[in-house]
Amino acid sequence: MAKRALISVSDKTGVVDLAAGLRERGWELLSTGGTFQTLSAAGLRVTPVRDLTGFPEMMDGRVKTLHPAVHGGILARRGSAHMDELAAQNFGTIDLVCVNLYPFRETVARGAPDPDVIENIDIGGPAMIRSAAKNHESVLVLVDPADYALALQDELSPAERRRLAAKAYRHTSDYDAAITAYLEGTSDELPTRLPETLTLTLTKAAEVRYGENPHQPGAVYRWGEARGPVLGAQVVAGKPMSFNNYADADAAWALCQDLAAQAASDGTGDAVCVAVKHANPCGVAVAPSVQAAWEGARDADTLSVFGGVVAVSQPVDLAAAQAMRGTFLEVLIAPAVTPDALELFTHKKPDLRVLVAATAQGVSRLDVRPLTGGFAVQERDTRLWDDLCPEVVTRREPTEAQWADLRFAWAVVKHARSNAVVLARRGVTVGLGTGAVSRIWAAERAVANAGERARGAALASEAFFPFDDVVRLAADAGVKAILQPGGAKRDPEVIAACNELGLSMVFTGSRHFRH
């Protein structure tokens, strides 16, 4: 008796070649719906599943393969009493199942209305895949066009069949996770925006030589169908990316995009440059051109920028590329790079990894961080300046220029590791204190880093001041305006110190810890 293959796929890639190859080897083909039409149009003899089951497709195709003739043929244990039961029902075996599922994630991604999304939840497909994978010793299960050629080999080893079965269960598991995430994200009845059970579907996106250190294996993974600006970036020049490169580039790009959004809302059209070292900003600038923004960020801390990762908000041209030649950098990420700039990097800085950022799509709102034995999960801190209600709490109000510097410094400190203090002046960071265990130490580091550039600068802190010590330190250094969340018990003392020393202070009412 000829072997039988049931083929029913949404993604038609390679399916005609697979079916033709099976027919040449004497297989009988069974199919449904659009796949049946595709194979028939290619001149292949195909039996519709309705002829197998004796029932037509029902309910607009919702019911077509949910039948004992299908699942009995797949699940029957060969060489057992199951075969007698099949024969008693006049059913035959199905020896290959080639199925990929309705395009649920793609339907969600294109913003389809809820009824269309729900209609793209596949029922029969996952059932057939799971049946075939369970009986993989006898039934070959294919869910990926990359594996179709295996079906045309004379024999597959038990280990290979088991691998394909595991891949099939991963396929249905990922599919169910996407459906769960969609339903949890749209239900009005959920008691919380964070689900009771969170499934992380991760697919390897890139190999890296090792993790943070050479003794740690490492790789980077894509979460579901998300397209991240760095994970999806095109590496157009330089060496392969490392584990640390990915982390730093992602941090640099996130801050760069926040500041670019501010520049766009201001209508200035200014370019942004962000230099990052060990996930912390070390030099940030906003200027009329990429070259000027780079020079401002570089000069903000010429020592720390060495070996750093740089993100810019506008295309890198030849002038900007030439300005970068004298500084050793690990990564440059931009929305585009002009051909002459790329040629310069390729020949003059061959080790520099040059990335063209991808457009973010489907990125989760969740921030997931590993713990031993689990994860800490929160919503991302996406609050922007326009979401705040800044309040001047001192007698002196910031000048227009100081307001601009406070807003700029606030965006930077939001992306710095806590405790963090940022000094900024005229759209450039002049002093940064990050990752300190004490707020006064963070401020001391920022002031020391700024030196004389602190005079006339604005200061931003990502959390409140427990004492007035930062105010007095800032005043001694020449800082003129301060921004912080407020909300400490000693706020009156802090405000009084500002009034005494002639500083302006603004409360945002919004803390931005980043650990």
Active site residues: 134, 278
Q: Write the CA distances from 417 to 280, 435, 455, integer angstroms.
A: 6, 5, 24
State both tokens at 229.
């600006």
Contact 277, 307 (CB under 8 A): yes
Say which residue the tokens 């931005």 belong to: 512
Phi, psi angles (nearest 5°) of residue 183:
-65, -40
Q: CB–CB of 498/470 below 8 Å?
A: no
Task: Give the separation between CA 141 and CA 135, rounded to whole angstroms.
Answer: 9
Output DSSP code: residue 148. G
> What is the distance of C-alpha 291 from the center of its chain?
29
Residue 405 CA to residue 319 CA, distance in Å, equals 27
Asked if 243 and 210 touch (Cβ cutoff 8 Å), the reply is yes
DSSP letters for 60-75: GGTBSS-SHHHHHHHH
Residue 355, phi then psi, degrees to nearest 5: -115, 140
Compute CA 127 distance to the chain's CA centroid, rounded to the nearest angstrom. Answer: 30
Cα 148 to Cα 103, 144, 169, 281, 509: the distances in Å are 20, 7, 17, 48, 58
Cis peptide before 419 (omega within 30 of 0): yes
Cα–Cα distance list, 478 to 424, 458, 482 (Å): 12, 9, 11
